[in-house]
Amino acid sequence: MAHASELIATDIEAYLAEHEHKDLLRLLTCGSVDDGKSTLIGRLLHDAGLIYEDHLRALEADSVLSGTTGDQPDLALLMDGLKAEREQGITIDVAYRYFSTRRRKFIVADTPGHVQYTRNMVTGASTAQLAIILLDARQGVLDQTRRHATIAALLGIRHVVAVVNKMDLMGWSQDRFVEVVDEFAEVADRLGIVDAYVLPISALTGDNVVERSQRMPWFDGPPLLEHLETVDVTADVDLQRVRFPVQLAVRPDHGFRGFAGTLASGVLRPGAEIVAVPSGMRSRIDRLVTFDGDVEVAVPGDAVTVVLADEIDLSRGDLMVDPAHLPERAHDLDVTLVWMAEPPAYPGRQLLLQSVTGTANASLSAILHRMDITTLDAVPADRLELNEVARCTLTCDRRLAFDAYEVNATTGSFILIDRLTNVTVAAGMIRDSATGWDAQPSDTIAHHRSKITSSERAARFGQRPATVLLTGMTGAGKTTIARSLERRLFDLGHTLLRLDGENLRLGLSRDLGFSNADRSENLRRATEIAVLAGRQGLLTIIAMQSPDAEVRERARQLIGPERFIEVLVDAPEHIRRERDLDGRYAAADRGENPYVPGVTSPYEPPDRPDLHLDTSVLTVSDCVERILDTLRGRGVLGDER
């Protein structure tokens, strides 16, 4: 419902105009069972004056029969509407509630806490921009808390509010709040949740829900409603990559032919060039038609009908994209799955994959590992049980057009459907194509071995093969050090190869973008070259950001741990920014570059690098000598000439 406003009575048109132009925040509540999710939303609506009087009277009457709060209205009943929910005092299905305040409109999904209803939570989280994760102050972080936080992180929900509820039962203890904050911070750090706001509340009494609590003066942050009204989610919108999934070809008469859908990302304007995927045909936008007439611009979330200047073939499941940012296409996918069915999943199972780009026959090729919710570690698995989260590979019968989920949630997500029962059995997020690290060569391809042995090459070159990977954020000094190291090794008489991430993009990797998935693929290709160079007895220097720790570890294993040296090149942020002559940090700050690792996309620094170089205190020569010392210590350089 809408907030109370005098305009309703005095000027209904002004009220509707005011209401229309507010932005919308989609959020969900999640957490363990009986943490108070439904009560919290009920309290927020009640204390903000967002419940109609007749609803309030009905709530008071229902509380006599089903309530658990004595002579007070049971606010949880506002969200728990199913008979079974009221009988058991739990949430079973996802309950949606729409409301608005003077600042913003909201759609809230109240999701179940029981582990058996985790799949319902996934449904509620699939469209959310913000997650409210409740924790009982008495119990702290539980397994279901970790599970819901994990799913929220996997689904790309960038804004998280950790609400420590039932502080009244802990005597409003600041010490207990700090303990729970520390527990949750550890979980958030493991999951890469960077925008987490933690606050203490009592949903039962309303403390810190709408108004600041007088009983917790030691907490000076805004109450929950104020934070929800002011949190900035505009930076999450991708205005660069055009992704327009076609939902319907519209042809009401012989004079009109358009393609209807909802713009997922990017900006559409008449005159702009588009590429149809998968056909690859090009055209230009002639008109953008809406229910209210033609518009000059469409932004993410707008439902429009696109009329093109040319008659090209497009149908439901096709994409319109901009020529500068083509989506990836692959038969084999590296994915994260949330298994949502009672029967377990085994490798080889045949399923239907449904995404915005249509339906494909898919096979569960492999289960790489599942996530242990208690420890958040990856553990081996040969099958998937209900509610388990796992990294898998899928093989489709057609080349699927997609983006990595972290780049675009619309084109990077899918569901899996049982072919016999038509039941949805899994929700999935695409990480990358699986045609790189996990692809297997054909059985007909033979390995032609050289007649020159490794020892012969070592004797000729006076060195043993090894690969030095310089990883770090923009401006840390990777390329500078790599070039100086190359010069120094060459002057010492060694034979080597330098692979720079930017240089590779001029040729071998010119098809790649700058998402973390693309950067990981760039490292994979460089690693394959390093393996070949190593077989020829060469030293290899790789300089690239390589933000994914797991991908760097795969590079180590492919090259061989004894031949791989991981060097973290580091510097304080203000120094990195000063060195950034290309303005990447500034573009990220303006929201114009979503692919700056460590700023607008994740960067996972090595936990235990072979060498850590702080370029704010070390000169380039110092850094080079430390790398040389490490190579000498490994016996790589042999007898230097």
pTM metric for this prediction: 0.60
pLDDT at 84: 40
Higher-pLDDT residue of 322 and 62 is: 322
Higher-pLDDT residue of 618 and 99 is: 618
Q: What's the rounded mean pLDDT across residues 562-583?
A: 93
- Surface-to-core class of residue 169, CB atoms within 10 Å of its CB (0-12 exposed, 13-18 middle, 19+ buried): middle
When pLDDT is cut at 50, 70 and 90, the band that residue 520 belongs to is confident
**SS3 letters across 363-418:** EEEEEEEEEECCCCEEECCCCECCCCEEEEEEEEEEEEEECCCCCCCCCCEEEEEE
Element (H, E) at 608: none
Q: What's the rounded mean pLDDT across residues 382-393?
A: 89
Task: Count other Cβ atoms within 10 Å, centred on residue 288.
Answer: 22
**SS3 letters across 109-161:** EECCCCHHHHHHHHHHHCCCCEEEEEEECCCECCHHHHHHHHHHHHCCCCEEE
pLDDT at 466: 95
Helix (H, G, I), strand (E, B) or coil at 218: coil
Residue 616 has pLDDT above 90, yes or no: yes
Q: With CA atoms as reference, report the closest residue to 433 among 507, 505, 511, 499.
A: 511
Higher-pLDDT residue of 3 and 226 is: 226
101-123 confidence digits (pLDDT tens): 888 888 888 777 556 666 677 77
pLDDT at 296: 95
Q: How far is CA 392 from CA 24, 334, 352, 372, in A?
A: 34, 6, 15, 15
Element (H, E) at 63: helix 53-66
Q: How far is residue 485's CA from residue 483's CA, in Å, rounded to a whole number?
A: 5
- Surface-to-core class of residue 18, CB atoms within 10 Å of its CB (0-12 exposed, 13-18 middle, 19+ buried): middle
Q: What's the rounded mean pLDDT across residues 19-48?
A: 79
Higher-pLDDT residue of 37 and 240 is: 240
Contact indicator for 566, 607 with CB cutoff of 8 Å: no
pLDDT at 5: 53
Contact indicator for 630, 565 with CB cutoff of 8 Å: yes
Residue 474 has pLDDT above 60, yes or no: yes
Q: How far is residue 304's CA from residue 293's CA, in Å, rounded to a whole number?
A: 10
Token representation of residue 436: 């790189």
pLDDT at 35: 75
Q: How far is CA 326 from CA 280, 317, 323, 406, 503, in A?
A: 10, 16, 6, 16, 21
pLDDT at 91: 41
Residue 85 has pLDDT above 60, yes or no: no
When pLDDT is cut at 50, 70 and 90, the band that residue 79 belongs to is low
| Phi and psi angles of residue 320, each rounded to the nearest 5 degrees, phi first | -105, 130
Mean pLDDT, the chain, integer? 85
Q: How far is residue 433's CA from residue 436's CA, in Å, rounded to a whole number?
A: 7
DSSP conformational letter for 448: -
**Residue owning tokens 């995404």:** 355
**What is the C-alpha R_g of the chain?**
28
Higher-pLDDT residue of 32 and 179 is: 179
Contact indicator for 620, 477 with CB cutoff of 8 Å: yes
| Least confident piece of the model among 146-150, 205-209, 568-572 | 146-150
Identify the CATH class of 329-433.
mainly beta
Task: In the chain, list all ranges with CATH 3.40.50.300.
Answer: 7-235, 454-633
Q: What's the rounded mean pLDDT across residues 3-28?
A: 64
402-458 confidence digits (pLDDT tens): 998 888 889 999 999 999 999 999 999 998 887 566 555 555 566 778 888 888 898
Identify the CATH homologous superfamily for domain 454-633.
P-loop containing nucleotide triphosphate hydrolases (3.40.50.300)
When pLDDT is cut at 50, 70 and 90, the band that residue 623 belongs to is very high
Most confident of 31-40, 57-66, 162-171: 162-171
Task: In the chain, list all ranges with CATH 2.40.30.10.
Answer: 243-321, 329-433
Residue 383 has pLDDT above 60, yes or no: yes
pLDDT at 365: 85
Decide if domain 7-235 falls under CATH 3.40.50.300: yes
Q: How far is residue 396's CA from residue 403's CA, in Å, rounded to a whole number?
A: 16
329-368 confidence digits (pLDDT tens): 888 899 999 898 889 999 888 999 999 998 999 999 888 8
pLDDT at 440: 54
Question: In terms of DSSP H, where are the helices of 492-548?
Answer: 501-504, 516-535
| Least confident piece of the model among 92-106, 328-342, 541-555, 573-587 | 92-106
Q: How far is residue 43's CA from residue 235's CA, in Å, rounded to a whole number?
A: 30
Render 271-339 in DSSP notation, one character per residue. Answer: T-EEEEETT--EEEEEEEEETTEE-S-B-TT-EEEEEESS-----TT-EEE-TTSPPEEEEEEEEEEEE
pLDDT at 18: 58
When pLDDT is cut at 50, 70 and 90, the band that residue 3 belongs to is very low
Q: With CA atoms as reference, report the closest residue to 514 among 410, 407, 405.
A: 407
Q: How far is residue 83's CA from residue 325's CA, in Å, rounded to a whole number?
A: 50
Element (H, E) at 567: strand 564-570
When pLDDT is cut at 50, 70 and 90, the band that residue 190 belongs to is confident
Residue 256 has pLDDT above 70, yes or no: yes
Contact indicator for 413, 386 with CB cutoff of 8 Å: no
- Surface-to-core class of residue 250, CB atoms within 10 Å of its CB (0-12 exposed, 13-18 middle, 19+ buried): middle
Q: What's the rounded mean pLDDT across residues 368-385?
A: 83
Q: Which amino acid is at 440?
A: Q
Percent of the chain with pLDDT strictly greater than 70: 86
pLDDT at 639: 59
Architecture field, domain 243-321: Beta Barrel (2.40)
Percent of the chain with pLDDT strictly greater than 90: 46
- Surface-to-core class of residue 309, CB atoms within 10 Å of its CB (0-12 exposed, 13-18 middle, 19+ buried): middle
When pLDDT is cut at 50, 70 and 90, the band that residue 10 belongs to is low
Token representation of residue 252: 């009401």
Contact indicator for 540, 497 with CB cutoff of 8 Å: yes
